[in-house]
Structure 1
Amino acid sequence: MWGISGVCAQFLFQRKQIDIEWMVSVRLLVAGAALLLYSACRARAKIWHIWRSWRSAFDLLIFAVLGMLAVQYTYFAAIQHSNAATGTVLQYLGPVFIALYFSIVRRRMPSSLESMAILFACLGTLLLVTHGDLTSMKISGLALFWGISSAIALAFYTIQPVRLLKENDAAHVVGWSMVVGGLVLSLASRPWDVPGIWDMQTVSAAGFVIVFGTLLSFYAYLAAVKRIGPQKTSLLACAEPLAATLVGVMWLHIPFALVDWIGSLCILATLFILSKK
């Protein structure tokens, strides 16, 4: 769902002139409100539990801005400046940053497997941004910046809410973080000013991004983090870049050469290397 929604976002940005700020703010506000409404129908009192302690409220605010909002905005910005396939693959450098974070926190050097993963990540990124021609970059500096930022945001999004998820339902964490993140972005953008070209294609693509690419997918991801932990969740989510690349090539005819596939596979290989015990 994330992969296909990335392709839908590229379609909206590049062919329907939809603004990133508008798309992200509306995506978060609509999906977050719907998730909280669903939770309230099940148990109204429990959705306010997360605000009853200063620690949980503070953790939620940090997660909403530096996790939920950041991972959404940086990912869409990477897509706008490149394409859905490249932006999604660069985001999947996130597990490497997770491994580096745990190495720093535990005060140890990266293991041999982690070092191998870092090497594959660097090689894959190099191939992806140069297409094998080391004398020049084939994607813009902005695309690379937003792609790396997206990977860092994904790592933070995966690690930071572990304590929140132990104490609260995943639907409440996701719903409130989306609403708060959407409200914060709305201070800079005005979601009531609707940009772009609107027709049935725009409505369908935007609807998929909001419902499947946000509401259902983010809940599923954090529910998985709660059940099996951040590292295994990152491994299983590697279907996203494959979906984004395949759908992007078939639907939007994204140019993706052999060297791009090799670079992408190098980055995805890091997930399997890091999962090996």
Structure 2
Amino acid sequence: MQGRDGKAGSAVVGYGLAILQAVLYSTLGIFGKLVYATGLNAQQSVILRFFFATVLLGVFMLIWRRQAFVSRQPSVYLQAVFFYISSIFYFFTVERLTAGMTTVIFYAYPAVVAVASLFVFKERLSVSTVVAFVLAISGLAMVSGVAAGEVTLDALGILFGIVSCVAFAAYTILIQKTGRSESPLTVTFTLSWTSLLASCIVFAPSLPGLLDLDAYQLMLGALMALFATILPIFIYIEAIKRIGGTKSSLIGISETPFSLIIAFLVLGETLTLGQGIGSCLIVASIAVITIAPLLAKDEKPR
């Protein structure tokens, strides 16, 4: 009985963590726009993000002194590769497609995770998961404008989006497969410093522009690193440990309505009726995927 209650409690925590990381990740676009408004470009913003993520987490771990800084697990570095590929190709996709089309392609990654999990982890797709997928994809189509035909197609942009989607799905699957063998702090720090190193190499021509940052730009970089990088990566890893990659990634789709709401409240951006309805469908999908399993556990005899 205690074991069953403990497992159910862990699942509840997992669902809560998955939702929290989606809320935190949804602030990335807001911070990005605020940074762009100061005159920095996208490449410089990427470098700034991972620089502060590495510094802030490194200082914390130096004080905490309980986890290793550098992972010795090859799988963690493979995670870092997929994480960075996903980040860079997402940036390339946004340059060629609308934000809405980019969102739809990228957030197909939970479906990739679910299909892969059928073979890798022998997971079964429950009725509630399938219903949640249908609601989520329908909501994404309305939020993005795809349902209304408000998209611009570009073959290379679509290819970049698929690469970003599949890479993030691979990153998620690797977390589920190896996440218990390494500290989440160690993994997060490894992802941060390897992404910083890769960014400095890929975007080397943009480095000189970062030598004369003002206090406001530094503050935005630090906040973006903390709330849109360090915390969501750490929390996402913990969520996957508790409820698996399929459910965690599906709940991650809730980042989309959170982004719209925060942009509406902070930046004053317009929230259309279609986006509002789509957001409700996505929220409904999250409710289905989180509540249904908990209700099923309650109905089982103890």
Q: TM-score range by the shorter chain?
A: 0.7 to 0.9
Query: Is the counterpart of residue 137 in structure 1 residue 150 in structure 2?
Result: yes
The equivalent of 1:27 in structure 2 is 49
Tell me whether 1:62 sits opposite 2:78 in the alignment: yes
Deviations 1:60-94 (A, max 9, x none): 22111212x234335555667655x9866875443
Contact 1:121–1:266 (CA under 8 A) maintained in structure 2: yes
Range with bigger deviation, 30-39 or 73-82: 73-82
Counterpart pick for 2:173 among 159, 165, 178: 159
Counterpart in the other structure of 1:254: 269
Query: Is 1:11 aligned with 2:34?
Result: yes
Equivalent residue for 2:131, pick from 108, 111, 116: 116
Instruction: Tell me by how many angstroms 1:236 deviates.
Output: 5.9
Contact (CA 8 Å) 1:170, 1:219: kept in 2 or not? yes
**Cα 1:272–1:102, aligned 2, differ >3 Å: closer, same or farther?**
farther
1:223 to 221, 230, 238: 238
1:20/1:73 contact within 8 Å kept? no
1:74 to 1:17, Cα distance in 2 relative to 1, 3 A: farther
**Count of aligned residue pairs for this structure pair:** 266
Looking at structure 2, the residues matched to 157 and 60 of structure 1 have their Cα atoms a distance apart, in angstroms, of 9
Q: Does the 8 Å CA contact 1:128/1:260 hold for their aligned counterparts?
A: yes
Letter in 2 for 1:25: I
1:214 alignment partner in structure 2:
229
Q: Offset at 1:158?
A: 2.3
**Residues of 2 paired with 1:12 and 1:70: CA distance?**
22
Q: Which residue of structure 1 aligns with residue 187 of structure 2? A: 173
Q: Return closer, same or farther for 1:95/1:128 CA change in 2, 3 Å cut-off.
A: same
Deviation of the 1:174 alpha carbon = 0.7
1:30-72 per-position Cα deviation (integer Å, ceiling 9, x unaligned) = 3124323432433378334x32xxxx1x2122111212x2343
Structure 2 gaps of 5+ residues are 1-23, 294-302
Deviations along 1:111-154, one digit per CA (max 9) or x if unpaired, are: 54444344334433332343643xx3346658876666554444
Alignment match of 2:142 (pick from 104, 124, 127): 127
In structure 2, give the amino acid aligned to 1:215.
I
Partner secondary structure for residue 120 of structure 1: helix
User: Are the counterparts in 2 of residues 129 and 139 from structure 1 also a CA contact under 8 Å?
Assistant: no
Alpha-carbon distance change, 60 to 72 in structure 1, aligned in 2, over 3 angstroms: same
- Structure 1, unaligned runs of 5 or more: none
Structure 2 distance, partners of 1:45, 1:102, is 29
C-alpha spacing 1:63/1:24, structure 2 compared with 1 (3 Å): same
**Percent sequence identity over matched residues?**
20
- Residue 264 of structure 1 is matched in structure 2 by 279
Determine the structure 1 residue equivalent to 2:111.
96
Q: Using the alignment, how far apart are the partners of 1:174 and 1:255 within structure 2?
A: 34
Deviation for aligned residue 1:170: 0.7
CA distance in 1, matches of 2:49, 2:114: 30
Q: TM-score, normalised to structure 1's length?
A: 0.74
Q: Is the 8 A contact 1:35 1:215 kept in 2?
A: yes
AA aligned to 1:64 is A
In 2 relative to 1, CA 262–158 (structure 1 residues): closer, same or farther, beyond 3 Å?
Answer: same
- C-alpha RMSD of the superposition: 3.7
Contact 1:74 1:150 in 2 (8 A): yes
TM-superposed CA distance for 1:186, in Å, is 1.8
SS of corresponding position for 2:199: helix
- State the match for 2:18 in structure 1: none
* Matching residue's letter, 1:22: Q
- How far has the Cα of 1:268 moved from its partner? 4.2
* SS in structure 1 at match of 2:40: coil
> 2:208 aligns to what SS in structure 1?
coil
Take 2:237 and 2:47, find their aligned partners in 1: how far apart are those partners?
20
Q: Check whether the contact 1:96–1:270 (CA below 8 A) recurs between aligned residues.
A: no
Q: Structure 2 CA distance, aligned partners of 1:268 and 1:91?
A: 18
Q: Aligned partner of 1:6: which letter? A: G
Task: Report SS of the residue matched to 1:216.
Answer: helix
Distance 1:12 1:254 in 2: 17
